[in-house]
Homo-oligomer: A and B are copies of this chain.
């Protein structure tokens, strides 16, 4: 740290993203990207006319995209705001709504404590149950804002919308943020609840189920006033936060929703297929409703699995953290990629 840096960041520990190798020699199952390209509509929308128009600023209001998202989710454009990835939206939401602190599961998206720390927010980490499920009751009357990834990461385990509703209902004075990054792989979205509760904020992303991780596009859906608050922070840091090509891609992606729905069904199938074979190899795993599997093996600890796979050209994610150090998180790739993974694991176990 330089001598000029504000002291309040002295103990801040930045988020460590999964490895992003620049070559393509790995089978990359470590950051939950989609194995499929964006919808044909996206490829068409980002054309040379759009690229020429890059000389002009993007629409700070993101009007057309908001309208399209509102239509998709049966809300109004005033219930939607968009960001440079859902990380940016989460950062704004932490700034805006967590002045009394924030509660979240001790095993969850590793960025939550970082957002809390950078914005000087008191943290309350709540232990997952022994089986890695979230007990909804633990979040009743939290006395702080709440953020829950649903499905949770890296476990993939999903709360029912009914359980989420109980949490939201019991915290009328605090915002409950539900991070639905992985909701399209078998979970039940809580977007329909936003008309009923003014303290519910849903955050979603184009990174996983819409094959646009590299386009950086996330959005929040909630009560008009919550959205206006987020927009105030957006306009006070970076009003043109979503670039032109990503705005075009995001809108076109919604037109290609049937393509994505099909991909997501396929990913669910491959998840179940892979899980079954892993079980046969002696692995155990959580019940994932996400585009990844969270698994461990009695004979190979997490680090050994991670390293062994990496040496053999397959990247998965390992978290060196109590209770989950024995696990690896494996993103769902194509059927062929998963077959290579399974064969490699068989060899490693032999």
Using CB atoms and an 8 Å cutoff, list the residues of chain A in contact with chain B: 1-9, 12, 14-17, 20, 22, 28, 31, 33-38, 42-43, 46, 48, 51-61, 63-64, 84-85, 87-88, 91, 95-99, 114-115, 117-118, 145, 173-175, 198-199, 207, 211-216, 223, 225-226, 228-229, 231-233, 235-246, 249
Complex: how many Å from CA A91 to CA B88?
Answer: 13
For A5, the closest partner residue in chain B by CB is B229
For A97, the closest partner residue in chain B by CB is B4
B2 and A238 contact, CB distance less than 8 A = no
B215 and A243 contact, CB distance less than 8 A = yes
B207 and A57 contact, CB distance less than 8 A = yes
A34's partner among B48, B55, B213, B231 (CB-CB below 8 A) is B55
For A91, the closest partner residue in chain B by CB is B237
Separation in Å of the A278 CB from the closest CB of chain B? Answer: 24
A233 and B118 contact, CB distance less than 8 A = yes
A216 and B58 contact, CB distance less than 8 A = yes
For A21, the closest partner residue in chain B by CB is B59
A15's partner among B12, B198, B235 (CB-CB below 8 A) is B235
Complex: how many Å from CA A4 to CA B38?
Answer: 37
A54 and B238 contact, CB distance less than 8 A = no
Chain B residues with CB below 8 A from A229, complex form: 1-2, 4-5, 9
CB pairs A–B below 8 angstroms (30 shown): A2-B198, A2-B228, A2-B229, A4-B199, A5-B96, A6-B95, A7-B99, A14-B231, A17-B57, A17-B235, A22-B59, A22-B64, A31-B57, A33-B55, A33-B57, A37-B52, A46-B46, A53-B214, A56-B213, A56-B214, A84-B216, A87-B238, A87-B239, A88-B237, A91-B238, A118-B236, A214-B243, A215-B245, A216-B241, A216-B243
